[in-house]
Every structure is written in C-alpha cells, then in structure tokens.
Amino acid sequence: MSVGTQVQADATAMRTLSGVVTDVDGALVPGATVTLLENFSVKGRSVVADANGHFSFDNVAAGPYVLTIIAKGMQPKTQRGTLNPDESVELPPIALGVAASDEVEVSGLTQEEIAEVQMKQEEKQRLAGLVPNFYVSYVWHAAPLTAKQKYKLAARTLIDPATFVIAAGFAGIEQASNEYSGFGPGWEGYGKRYGALLADGAIGGMLGGAVFPVLFHQDPRYFYKGTGTKWHRALYAISTSVVARGDNGKWQPAYASVLGDFTSGAISNLYYPAADRNGAGLTIANGFLSIASDAATNLLQEFLLKKLSTGVKVKATAPVVQP
C-alpha cells in the first residue's frame, strides 16, 4: 500500500457521524433506527439509537450523505448533509414529530425491548458507587415497564448485596439504642431486628415496586426532571409522592405508592413484638410519614443524588411540563 493510499485510509477511519434523536420537546427517543446512505451509495447501513437516543457511524466516506430516522410512534425524518475530508461531525439533536394515528409505526426495537435496555442502565446507577439507585429514570419519556420488568427490578433491588449491608447497619443502631426492646438483647435480639428490617424492605419493595404498580398500571420509578426553575422542580418532586405516571404516560394519583406505604406498615405488625406493634391509628400516621419521606427523597433525587450517582448516562433532561 502506498503512503498516499495509507493516509487516505487513515482519514476515512477518522471520520465519524453521530447525533441524538429526540422528540419535538427535546426528550430522548431511544430505539430509533438510523440508516446512513453515504456518498451517493444506494446501499445503506443502519444502527439503533441507544437508551440515551444516541447513534454513531464510524468510517464514513467523505462527501454527501443522507440519514433516515424511524422510530415507533414518530414521524420518519430524512436529513441530508456533506461530510468533509478529515472531519467528524456531532449533529444537532434530530427532532421527530409524533406520528398520526394512520401512519405505519416502525421501530428497530419493541417498547418492551426499549424498556429492558433502559432498565438495565438504571441497574448500573449507584450512590457513591455502592448504594442502589435503581428506581430513578433520567430518560423523561422512558418506555413503560411491563409487569415482568417491574417484578424483576424489585427483586434485583432486594437481592443486591448493599441491601443486606445497609439492613445490618441499621439493626446495629437499633440494638445499641434498644429500639423495639421486645426483640431482646444479645445476638438473638440483633438477629430478630435484622430479620425484621429485611422483611420491611422486602414487603415494602415488592408491594410498592411491583404488586401495586402492576395492579394499578403505574410506573414505580421517579422521573428526573432537571429543567425549569428550582421552585417548579421542587413542586414536581414533592408532588410525585402522591402523583405517579401511569403506564399509559398520563399522570394520576399514586395509588400504588400510597397503598404500598400503608399496607407494608400494617403487615409489619405481624412480626414486630406485641409491645411495639403500632395499632391502626399509629399505622396510619406512619403511612403519612412514609409519604412525607418519599417527598423528601424525591427532592434529594431532583437536586442532589444525581451528582452522587455513578452509572448515569444521559444527554438530555425533561421538557418543561408539569404532571
């Protein structure tokens, strides 16, 4: 191979064409099929946008190109341009409009497959690289989880090693302060406290993260907003303790979350010492405390915890809309 031919080959290898697919509001569109026709070629190559709506082509020939973008439920779009020699281009966001009801919907991935990709990404999110932060979606228009996926995400959280370590730590704190004295002292008392905390997490996690969300067709995740004034973001975060996104994409009363808080508290009376059982009045009061705790946690998610989380891979946030 001559020097000139080698230089030309190296330049071709350096040329990339990439971008992000969004909707008209700026929200990411994962799973879009992007097809590239380069330099008047009649045979294209295709890639599927990842969970963050990002796509990329390597070794792109210099000259004119045509991109065709297709996503389920969206209007197909064609975009033309020219790639200069020794140039790599990151395109501005490519916005797709919503398809009319009589348009054919085509996608490289089904909704369930898109949801699976997004859920796998969420399972990489950890606070300080240790504590699971699985129930936060940084993709505003994330695909709804299926019933099976809701149970998988809940189970994945329950069996995470950090869950057992955290429960062990809190059991030690309760033991030191003699909280729930009916469990008794020593290792036996510690074991009972540890078991009760694991049971609290398992029951609350399955009821609030899977059973009731499946029953009421609601999404158990917190959807990070990230745009708008701090006041609007705070109101949104607080409201999501009592308002949830349905699997149909519409906002509605958070039946799943609220019932999960109250029901798990009531069930805990079955295995806590008789002297420490709450009774109906206190159980209701604790249910409202749980809702307040959810609101506080969501505020932290909106303003702080993203900065402390590892495994977060997003390039866009929510459009400025209110539930």
pLDDT in tens, the chain (323 residues): 444 444 344 444 568 999 999 998 888 999 999 999 887 665 678 899 999 999 999 999 888 888 999 988 888 888 888 888 888 899 999 999 876 543 334 344 567 877 888 888 899 999 999 999 999 998 888 889 999 999 999 999 999 999 999 999 999 999 999 988 899 999 999 999 999 999 989 998 999 999 999 999 999 999 999 888 999 999 999 999 999 999 988 999 999 999 988 898 788 888 888 877 766 665 676 678 788 889 999 999 999 999 999 988 654 444 443 33
Domain 3-96 matching CATH 2.60.40.1120: the answer reads no
Listed by start position, the domains of the chain span 3-96, 111-310
pTM metric for this prediction: 0.65
Label residue 281 exposed, middle or buried (CB < 10 Å: 0-12, 13-18, 19+).
exposed
> What is the predicted pLDDT for the residue at 41?
66
> What is the predicted pLDDT for the residue at 282?
55
Planar angle of CA 101, 106, 112, nearest 5 degrees? 100
Cα–Cα distance for residue pair 171/180, rounded to 1 Å: 10
> What is the predicted pLDDT for the residue at 105?
40
> What is the predicted pLDDT for the residue at 112?
83
> What is the predicted pLDDT for the residue at 171?
94
What's the token pair of residue 6? 């080698």
**Following DSSP, what letter does each residue of 104-131 receive, concatenated?**
PP--SS-HHHHHHHHHHHHTT-EETTTE
What's the token pair of residue 146? 């299926």
Alpha-carbon torsion angle 81, 83, 88, 91, nearest 10: 0
Cα–Cα distance for residue pair 167/40, rounded to 1 Å: 62
Cα–Cα distance for residue pair 225/305, rounded to 1 Å: 13
